[in-house]
Amino acid sequence: MSPPLLGVEEEGQSNASLVASSGSMDCLSQSGSGLKERNYLGLSDCSSVDSSTITSLSKENKNNLNLKATELRLGLPGSQSPERDPDLALLKSGKLDEKLLFPLLPSKDGICASSQKTVVSGNKRGFSDTMNGFPEMKSSGYTEGNWIFHASGSESESPQSVGQGKFPSNSTINVMLSSRSSGAQPAAVNKEVPPKASQERPRATNGSSHNQITTNNNSSAPAAKAQVVGWPPIRSFRKNTLATTSKNNDELDGKLGPGALFIKVSMDGAPYLRKVDLRTYSTYQELSSALEKMFSCFTIGQCGSHGTPGREMLSESKLRDLLHGSEYVLTYEDKDGDWMLVGDVPWELFINSCKRLKIMKSSDAIGLGMCGFD
């Protein structure tokens, strides 16, 4: 199966690569290779998370995921074992949804039938999570995070008082099982597989095992800052303007300005552009790694690697080889409109003059000179 193609514009979040490279994994093909983590506590997460959440995780987070892969996680107290059989889940899903479509007569049956699906997260985030893309891992509806459950009386009451019969017990179950502050701690998980990395709050990117606990509690400041896509909600125009403004000001103070600097990155042969925020990197190496990960899905297709969970790791290094083996070179368009090879000028000068990036086939880049970075 060819890897899925991503067209997401991100601020250089390397997590995009997670989604990309996982293309061939789907929920049903959980044959254990030795790398699959099993759900030892009998809990698994059938909550759903969108891959976009995943993609919002920072690069740091992605690195941390690999560490976390080996840690044992606490399941949510009171959470039930979700369905393991995807067919059953599908059946239930269909049944449930039909009945709820016409709200005047909410079907108790339908609702109750779904209650078993409303389980919530166990939060084992496994090795397989880091290997697989999020989309495959998703299951429907009842979200939950692997958070410590803060029992909240109000939650169980409110459905009754306000539900007006539309959302009976099922909602209660849902609510009670859900984590208190789950908000959207998306956990895209396949029923058979433990929750994903995406469950980690993007902000809690330290690799500690307290990660999930701390993220539950908003008062704890994450150790490392990760940028969530599109948050805070500020238009690109304003972000870029402020970036240049503060940079100008800070040049006087001598410190590196904050703010974002989004530029478009394209790759020969790839159908989608991405956007990266150059300010999240401080060296060419970081930029190069991030781009490798972001665009690995396209070259993986060309490598022709398939199927195993460990594929992503393999292919990343393969991609690195590809890039360093000069099949592709990284070029940029500068303020004067000239295309140059990346790496010739000091980093600061580069980010000040770079208008857009392009990953070109080396054969196309010959005219740019051969002093790329290696």
Site for other proteins in 14-33 (CB under 8 A): 19-20, 22-23, 26-28
Three-state secondary-structure class, residue 219: coil
Q: Which two tokens stand for residue 287?
A: 């930029």
| Cβ at position 324, least distance to other proteins in Å | 27
Q: Cβ atoms within 10 A of the Cβ of 339, count?
A: 14
205-213, 236-244, 306-314, 339-347 -> range binding other proteins (CB under 8 A): 236-244
Closer residue to other proteins, CB minimum distance, 189 or 342: 189
Please state the length of the chain. Answer: 374
In the sheet with 354-361, reading across from the earlier edge strand, the strands are: 274-277, 262-267, 354-361, 328-334, 339-341
Q: Which of 259, 235, 233 is nearest to 246 (CA)?
A: 259
Closer residue to other proteins, CB minimum distance, 64 or 139: 139
Three-state secondary-structure class, residue 248: helix
Closer residue to other proteins, CB minimum distance, 129 or 136: 136
| Cβ at position 327, least distance to other proteins in Å | 24
| Cβ at position 65, least distance to other proteins in Å | 17
Three-state secondary-structure class, residue 22: helix
Candidates 232, 304, 346, 367; binder of other proteins (CB under 8 A) is 232
Closer residue to other proteins, CB minimum distance, 66 or 246: 246
> Binding to other proteins (CB under 8 A): which residues in 64-93?
86, 89-90, 93
229-237, 283-291, 315-323, 345-353 -> range binding other proteins (CB under 8 A): 229-237
| Cβ at position 288, least distance to other proteins in Å | 22
Query: Pattern 338-367, binding to other proteins, x per CB under 8 A?
Result: ------------------------------
Candidates 84, 180, 318, 361; binder of other proteins (CB under 8 A) is 180
> Is residue 317 close enough to count as binding other proteins by CB under 8 A?
no
> Binding to other proteins (CB under 8 A): which residues in 195-214?
203
| Cβ at position 6, least distance to other proteins in Å | 4
> Is residue 101 close enough to count as binding other proteins by CB under 8 A?
yes
Instruction: Go through 258-273 and write b for each residue having 16 or more CB atoms within 10 A of its CB, e for each that does not.
Output: ebbbbbebbbeebeee
Are 201 and 215 within 8 A, CB to CB?
Answer: yes
> Binding to other proteins (CB under 8 A): which residues in 30-49?
46-49
Cα 267 to chain center, whole Å?
21
Candidates 76, 188, 322, 330; binder of other proteins (CB under 8 A) is 188
H helix intervals, the chain: 15-21, 51-55, 59-68, 86-101, 108-115, 127-131, 134-137, 153-163, 169-177, 211-216, 236-253, 284-303, 311-324, 347-353
Are 283 and 10 within 8 A, CB to CB?
Answer: no
Candidates 34, 70, 235, 283; binder of other proteins (CB under 8 A) is 235
Are 202 and 185 within 8 A, CB to CB?
Answer: no
> Binding to other proteins (CB under 8 A): which residues in 240-299?
241-242, 245-246, 248-249, 258-260, 262, 271-273, 275
Three-state secondary-structure class, residue 26: coil
Q: How far apart are CA 119 and CA 217, in angstroms?
A: 21
> Binding to other proteins (CB under 8 A): which residues in 136-155?
136-144, 152, 154-155
- Partners of residue 277 on adjacent β-strands: 262
> Is residue 13 close enough to count as binding other proteins by CB under 8 A?
no
Closer residue to other proteins, CB minimum distance, 2 or 363: 2
Q: Which two tokens stand for residue 77?
A: 């107290």
| Cβ at position 29, least distance to other proteins in Å | 11
34-42, 170-178, 305-313, 316-324 -> range binding other proteins (CB under 8 A): 170-178
Q: How far apart are CA 117 and CA 142, in angstroms?
A: 7
